[in-house]
């Protein structure tokens, strides 16, 4: 896809068919995550976990629904592939959040390029951070917790065409 079309078509998808992405698609998304900028080039400070296990996805949903007020019963929207981006717990700093977000955005854009639906998820990992058991099940290295999750899959509905815009975010020009 032409780059600005990827940008235009990237939008949050909250309804998935449940059909699994292919290994090839997953591989490209993971490569995009690995190509993201990370502070000081410290790629060892971040970890990815690909979650395609139905039971674990259901546990993550239940944990978020029970521990965060106002969260729906299905905050993973029927996704069958969720990629957790984890960082060291004690690095709960702007750098760790920035690293996780750069990696997540690269994966969202790669998914869009493949014609997949995608979503940036913060509520589910925010709740999972406090569950030692869930962190263990995510196979995180010692001291790591999930910061962000990216969901990818086949969208239930076609995307509504969006227009590129320059007026969503307030901007000043200093020239």
Ligand X SMILES: Cc1cc2nc3c(=O)[nH]c(=O)nc-3n(C[C@H](O)[C@H](O)[C@H](O)COP(=O)(O)O)c2cc1C
Residues that bind ligand X (CB under 6 A): 11-12, 14, 119-123
Q: How far is the CB of 97 from ligand X (least distance, A)?
A: 9
Task: Considering the complex, state which of residue 21 and residue 125 has its C-beta at the smaller distance from ligand X.
Answer: 125
Q: How far is the CB of 175 from ligand X (least distance, A)?
A: 29
Beta partners for residue 85, in sequence order: 48, 148
Which burial class, exposed, middle or buried, applies to 40 when counting CB atoms under 10 A from its CB (0-12, 13-18, 19+)?
exposed
Q: How far is the CB of 45 from ligand X (least distance, A)?
A: 19
* 32 three-state secondary structure: helix
Question: Roughly what angle, to the nearest 10 degrees, separates helices 94-113 and 23-34?
Answer: 140
Task: Considering the complex, state which of residue 74 and residue 154 has its C-beta at the smaller distance from ligand X.
Answer: 74
Task: Considering the complex, state which of residue 48 and residue 122 has its C-beta at the smaller distance from ligand X.
Answer: 122
Q: How far is the CB of 119 from ligand X (least distance, A)?
A: 6
Sheet of 144-153: strands edge to edge? 46-51, 82-88, 144-153, 117-121
H helices within 10-138, ranges in order?
Answer: 23-34, 54-67, 94-113, 123-128, 132-137
Task: Considering the complex, state which of residue 164 and residue 174 has its C-beta at the smaller distance from ligand X.
Answer: 164
């Amino acid at each position: 896809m032409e780059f600005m079309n990827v940008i235009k078509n990237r939008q949050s998808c909250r309804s998935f068919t449940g059909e699994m992405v292919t290994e090839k698609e997953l591989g490209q998304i993971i490569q995009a995550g690995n190509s993201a900028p990370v502070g000081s080039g410290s790629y060892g400070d971040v970890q990815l976990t690909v979650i395609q296990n139905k039971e674990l996805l259901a546990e993550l949903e239940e944990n978020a629904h029970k521990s965060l007020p106002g969260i729906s019963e299905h905050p993973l929207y029927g996704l069958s592939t969720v990629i957790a981006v984890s960082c060291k717990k004690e690095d709960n700093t702007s750098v760790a959040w920035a690293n996780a977000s750069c990696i997540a955005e690269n994966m969202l854009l790669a998914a869009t390029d493949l014609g997949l639906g995608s979503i940036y998820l913060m509520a589910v990992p925010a709740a999972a951070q406090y569950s030692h058991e869930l962190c263990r099940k995510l196979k995180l290295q010692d001291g790591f917790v999930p910061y962000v999750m990216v969901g990818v899959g086949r969208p239930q509905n076609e995307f509504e065409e969006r227009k590129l815009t320059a007026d969503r975010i307030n901007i000043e020009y200093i020239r």
